Amino acid sequence: MGFVYALIAAGLSLIFGLMEIVNFAHGEFLMLAMFSTYWAWALWRLDPVLSLPLTAAVLFLLGFATYHGLIRWVLGAPMLAQIFATFGLAIFLRSAAQAIWGVDFHLVKDPLVQGRISLGGLFIGLPQLVASVGALLAFVFLNWFISRTETGLALQATAQDRQAASLMGILRLPRRGRELRPPGLCDGGARRLRQRAGHPGGGGDRGGDRGAGRAPHRAGAQVRGRLRPLPAGRPLAASGIVRALLMPRPFALAAGLVALALLLAFPLVFTLPYPRDVMIRIFLYAMLATAWNVLAGYCGQISLGHAVFFGTGAYTSTVLVKTLGLSPWAGMLAGAALAVALSQVIGYPVFRLRGHYFAIATIAVGEIVQTLTINWDWVGGARGLFVPIDRTCSLLAFQFRDKQV
């Protein structure tokens, strides 16, 4: 399988080297290729070896549609926007596959290539061996194509210097590519640069030294002039609506008391389970958004693996209820403590990264934890855990109905 994974990595490297796109949906396209092979066998009894050209054609069409529908719109966007786009595409393809074809495994029965061979007591599966040979042949063809053909040389030039390749006519950049020009050379900027450098019309060299000496002082005075002095003995707060919400004023206090009274009356007015479930989920997601905003909004770090810590608390509380009979109220505290400890272990290496590297690392953490969880039978695996119903003491068991509906 190492040869197959290396071939997949080569495809990912081509995408990143040429288009500067980090494609997080690369594995999902491999999944679609596998499903295409399976359904070609299930519907028309085509062996995977015989359906290989058909699968390649289907994946080409999917890649063409993905490029024109999504990728071409984020080529000139920041790296984080590209990560969001491809990561969202990966989640969409994975969820769509589960919704359409289910979560069960699908097998191709009685393929042309099956069995195993023995080499000195070491048994090697024949399908894996054929796949390795095919991957090696693909590597040889890819090396020849890149190093010997005109198109391959153009790809190398594009990967080395995208702008130079565009100037030489090798690469046709999208319309947004004009933004790659230096901004000082647009809209008469070249003339202004010459004037500032001492050319005629720009004041010459006489005032150059004096202007250079006065510029930092003027900039510092402007910065100091725009800073407001700290009020003595009063906390800082934003102006406008935000300040009205943050500062303890009679109107804000009255509005808060009214909102609290409405929330307390909500379960008494709406007695059906569905409205209560909706309200609980609203507050649950609001709490998650607040926790995410602390990291992304205040610290400027985009985390795409934030659900790891939420899942840690949920699993901890549920496991303690099932195994030890501990009340969920105490389980929540234990789950929060374990989530904090896990965040310290994960955050120590991950917080050394910045920008899109941090986002990529959090995606990796989320995928690793998800893979471990769905393959860990002690926590229920892919089926998850179910909280047992305790009707004797509903309040301590975190259940507020006398019977199950």
pLDDT in tens, 51-97: 999 999 999 999 999 999 998 888 878 888 888 899 889 989 998 99
Residues 308 and 262 in one domain: no
> Which residues neighbour 132 within 8 Å (Cβ) at sequence distance 6 or greater?
2, 3, 4
Tell me, yes or no, whether 285 lies in a domain.
yes
> Which residues neighbour 177 within 8 Å (Cβ) at sequence distance 6 or greater?
76, 166
Residues 359 and 301 in one domain: yes
Residues 264 and 277 in one domain: no
Beta bridge partners of 118: 123
Tell me, yes or no, whether 217 lies in a domain.
no
Tell me, yes or no, whether 199 lies in a domain.
no
Contact 174, 165 (CB under 8 A): no
Residues 248 and 325 in one domain: no
Domain hosting 316: range is 272-405
In a 3-state reduction of DSSP, which class is residue 337? helix
Residues 18 and 100 in one domain: yes
Cα angle vertex 201, ends 196, 206, to 5°? Answer: 65
- Give the type of residue at 256: G
Tell me, yes or no, whether 211 lies in a domain.
no
pLDDT of 22 strictly over 60: yes
CA distances from 396 to 210, 325, 330, 401 (A): 77, 11, 10, 12
pLDDT of 309 strictly over 70: yes
Domain closes at, from 138, 163, 180: 180
DSSP 300: -
Residues 264 and 154 in one domain: no
Residues 283 and 176 in one domain: no
* Rounded CA separation 141/134 (Å): 11
Tell me, yes or no, whether 48 lies in a domain.
yes
In a 3-state reduction of DSSP, which class is residue 245? helix
Give the pLDDT confidence of 226-246 residue by residue, as tens digits. Answer: 444 544 444 444 444 444 445
Contact 87, 363 (CB under 8 A): yes
- Give the type of residue at 193: L
SS3 string, 103-168, reads: CCCCCCCCCCCCCEEEECCEEEEHHHHHHHHHHHHHHHHHHHHHHHCHHHHHHHHHHHCHHHHHHC
Tell me, yes or no, whether 193 lies in a domain.
no
pLDDT of 250 strictly over 50: yes
Residues 79 and 159 in one domain: yes
How many structural domains does the chain have? 3
Domain closes at, from 220, 247, 269: 269
Residues 84 and 25 in one domain: yes
Tell me, yes or no, whether 262 lies in a domain.
yes
Residues 170 and 73 in one domain: yes
Better-predicted residue by pLDDT, 227 or 344 = 344
Tell me, yes or no, whether 335 lies in a domain.
yes
Residues 134 and 172 in one domain: yes
What integer pLDDT is reported at residue 321 of this predicted model?
85
What integer pLDDT is reported at residue 229 of this predicted model?
52
Domain closes at, from 229, 249, 269: 269
What integer pLDDT is reported at residue 337 of this predicted model?
94
Question: What are the structure tokens assigned to 212, written together?
Answer: 């250079």
CB hemisphere CA count around 274 (13 angstroms) = 0
In a 3-state reduction of DSSP, which class is residue 255? helix
Contact 89, 97 (CB under 8 A): no
> Which residues neighbour 192 within 8 Å (Cβ) at sequence distance 6 or greater?
184
SS3 string, 50-113, reads: CCHHHHHHHHHHHHHHHHHHCHHHCCCCCHHHHHHHHHHHHHHHHHHHHHHHCCCCCCCCCCCC
Residues 261 and 283 in one domain: no
What integer pLDDT is reported at residue 270 of this predicted model?
83
Contact 48, 41 (CB under 8 A): yes
